[in-house]
């Protein structure tokens, strides 16, 4: 079962928890399981059109995934991190 870790932005919305284990076969299904379990995270993870929110960056085992790669398979022990993209100037 993969584990999803996230920042305090997420944790504050679900009682301070910084990670959850979810049953999933792919990164996208893990993220869907996360937002199914915690619907208040939905606007952080997903854009209104159902695509991955473009301000979020997803990593699988410390490898950054592009939006086209979120269908990547996952298995037991895999770690998914989702963090807001840094913006600056």
The answer to whether position 79 is within a domain reads yes
Residues 6+ apart with CB under 8 A from 55: 84, 85
pTM of the model: 0.91
21-42: pLDDT as tens digits: 999 999 999 999 999 999 999 9
Query: How many structural domains does the chain have?
Result: 1
* Other residues' Cβ atoms within 10 Å of the Cβ of residue 49: 5
Q: Can you say whether the dihedral through the CA atoms of 70, 57, 80, 44 is positive or negative?
A: negative
Q: Which CATH number is 18's domain given?
A: 3.10.20.30
How sure is the predictor about 87, in pLDDT bands with cuts at 50, 70 and 90?
low
User: What is the span of the domain harbouring residue 71?
Assistant: 3-84
Q: How far apart are CA 79 and CA 75, in angstroms?
A: 9
53-62: pLDDT as tens digits: 999 999 999 9
* Other residues' Cβ atoms within 10 Å of the Cβ of residue 10: 24
Q: How far apart are CA 41 and CA 62, in angstroms?
A: 22
Residue 32: predicted pLDDT: 97
């Amino acid at each position: 079962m993969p584990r999803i870790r996230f920042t305090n932005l997420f944790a504050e919305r679900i009682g301070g928890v910084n990670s959850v284990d979810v049953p999933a076969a792919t990164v996208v299904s893990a993220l869907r399981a996360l937002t199914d379990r915690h619907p208040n995270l939905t606007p952080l993870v997903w854009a209104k059109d159902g695509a991955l929110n473009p301000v979020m960056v997803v990593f699988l085992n410390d490898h950054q995934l592009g939006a086209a790669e979120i269908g990547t398979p996952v298995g037991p022990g895999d770690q998914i991190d989702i963090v807001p993209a840094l913006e600056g100037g």
